[in-house]
C-alpha cells in the first residue's frame, strides 16, 4: 500500500506531463472523475452532502481493518474529478495518517490556477470532511 505522500508525488508527476495547459488539465480532471468507482444511489442523501461546495458532492467513509475507505460522487464532472483525487490519496489509509496528512500536491500542481476561488473553497470543504470522517472513525475505534 502506497503512502499518502507517494500518492501525492504520483499525482504531481501526472499533472507535470500536462505542462500547465489549463484546458488539458481540466479535461484530465474530468477523465479522472469518470474512473471513480460508482457510489450507491442509496448513499446520495442530504446527510452525505459536503457542506461548503457549490456543486453537490456526496462523501461517505467506512472503517475496515483499521483503514478508512471512501465513496464519493458529484453532480458536476470537474468536481467529481477533484474528489476522485482525494479518494485516491486517502483510500486505505489509517485514520491517523489522514488526520495528519499535509496535502502539498494542491500547490505543486497549481490547482488554484485552474479551479477558481469557488471550487477551491469547495475542495477545502471536501478535505475537511474527509479529515472529520477519519477523526470520527478513529474515535469509534478507540471506544
What amino acid positions are annotated as catalytic residues? 53
The rounded distance, in Å, linking the Cα atoms of 42 and 83 is 19
Give CA–CA dist 126/118, Å, rounded: 13
Of the candidates 72, 101, 87, 85, which has an alpha carbon nearest to the alpha carbon of residue 25?
85
Q: Which residues pair with 69 in a beta bridge?
A: 62
Amino acid at each position: 500500500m502506497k503512502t499518502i505522500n507517494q500518492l501525492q508525488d504520483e499525482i504531481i508527476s501526472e499533472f507535470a506531463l500536462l505542462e500547465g495547459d489549463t484546458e488539458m488539465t481540466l479535461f484530465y480532471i474530468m477523465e479522472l472523475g469518470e474512473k471513480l468507482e460508482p457510489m450507491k444511489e442509496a448513499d446520495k442523501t442530504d446527510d452525505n452532502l459536503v457542506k461548503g461546495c457549490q456543486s453537490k458532492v456526496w462523501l461517505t467513509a467506512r472503517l475496515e481493518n483499521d483503514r478508512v475507505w471512501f465513496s464519493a460522487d458529484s453532480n458536476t464532472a470537474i468536481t467529481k474529478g477533484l474528489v476522485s483525487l482525494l479518494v485516491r490519496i486517502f483510500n486505505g489509509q489509517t485514520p491517523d495518517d489522514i488526520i495528519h496528512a499535509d496535502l502539498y500536491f494542491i500547490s505543486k500542481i497549481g490547482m488554484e490556477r485552474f479551479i477558481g476561488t469557488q471550487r477551491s473553497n469547495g475542495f477545502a470543504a471536501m478535505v475537511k470532511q474527509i479529515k472529520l470522517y477519519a477523526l470520527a472513525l478513529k474515535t469509534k475505534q478507540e471506544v
